[in-house]
Amino acid sequence: MDRSRRRVAGLLLLPALLVVAVVAAVPIGLLFRVALYPPGPVAPLSGGPELDSFAGLLSAPYPSVALRTLRLSLLTTLLVTFLGFPVALFLSRSRGLSRRIQTLLIVSPLLMSVVVRAYGWMLVLGRQGFVGETLAALSLPRVGLLHTEAAVLLALTESFLPFMILALAASLDRIDPDLLAAARGLGASSARTFFAVVVPLTLPGFVAGASFVLVGSLSAYAVPALLGGSAARTFVMEIYELVTISFDWPTAAAASIVLLLFASALLGGAALLSRRRSARTFGT
């Protein structure tokens, strides 16, 4: 009975697993193979296998672009954490209609296309946009923030804020109210309770949220392309131009592999961190 049940379960899983194999595993494997061809706009691909296309990533402009991308991602993570934490606290303390409306406000942006939201930021930040026109209407000098790193940072923060709020709020909701009552009963001030009990208990949510925001902002394309343009080129923008403008598929594939490995290392590290933490907390 149990064996046949397992066999049925295996059969039910098969189609979904096949999709992951054919549409994710095989393509990524092929990218590995393409990255081993000699770099350059050559078709059909031949020669190799060699690591020249990976070596090419060590020369300009890639290191500085990678650094800028990393800096933007770290700053985005920092900003969504500091902006998201009070919101998550406020949300977790709200009940009823207020909570439903807030959740709607947080979730709705996630359902809109990232292109539409980036377009909205273009309209807000452009010289002829809302900020520029408002300044002009007040007879102040027009300032356009479009095509700056600051614009990219602002829009990235907006696009990842909902994820961080939801991740932190999930952690906050799991806190047992008795724990807080116990801390208070043992004489801790409300500030001490907050920093010694509440904040440490949100770490799992923070780790999950922060790793997602880091990887997501490293991989973002629409926001940096539309709001930064040539003023804030990111690693993924380079990959896109390697494919569509230079036709250098081996280098594009090598850059993709580097990004994938880096993202996997980040996510793996975060998973390890949260597992070790929970092991320590629960003594297993």
Nearer to other proteins, 107 or 199 (CB): 107
Nearer to other proteins, 52 or 158 (CB): 158
Rounded to whole angstroms, how far apart are CA atoms 153 and 177?
36
User: Measured in whole angstroms, how far is the alpha carbon of residue 159 from the centre of its chain?
Assistant: 9
Tell me the two tokens of residue 218: 């490293």
Please work out, in degrees rounded to the nearest 5, the angle formed at the alpha carbon of residue 124 by the alpha carbons of 123 and 130. 95
CB of 56 to other proteins, least distance (A): 17
Nearer to other proteins, 52 or 131 (CB): 131
Give 151's contacts (C-beta < 8 A, 6+ positions apart): 121, 125, 145, 227, 228, 232
Residue with tokens 């343009």: 229
Nearer to other proteins, 27 or 200 (CB): 27
CB of 26 to other proteins, least distance (A): 6
Nearer to other proteins, 57 or 259 (CB): 259
Nearer to other proteins, 39 or 129 (CB): 129
Residue 141: DSSP 8-state: P
CB of 153 to other proteins, least distance (A): 12
Nearer to other proteins, 44 or 283 (CB): 44
Nearer to other proteins, 50 or 241 (CB): 241
CB of 55 to other proteins, least distance (A): 20
Looking at this protein, which amino acid is placed at residue 109? Answer: P
CB of 52 to other proteins, least distance (A): 18
Looking at this protein, which amino acid is placed at residue 26? Answer: V
Q: Is the peptide bond before 49 cis (omega within 30 degrees of 0)?
A: yes
Give 107's contacts (C-beta < 8 A, 6+ positions apart): 162, 166
Rounded to whole angstroms, how far apart are CA atoms 189 and 171?
22
CB of 20 to other proteins, least distance (A): 6
CB of 183 to other proteins, least distance (A): 16
Tell me the two tokens of residue 180: 């807080």
DSSP 17-50: HHHHIIIIIHHHHHHHHHHTSPSSS-SS--S---
CB of 173 to other proteins, least distance (A): 5
Considering only CA atoms, which of 129, 187, 117, 207 is closest in space to residue 155?
A: 117
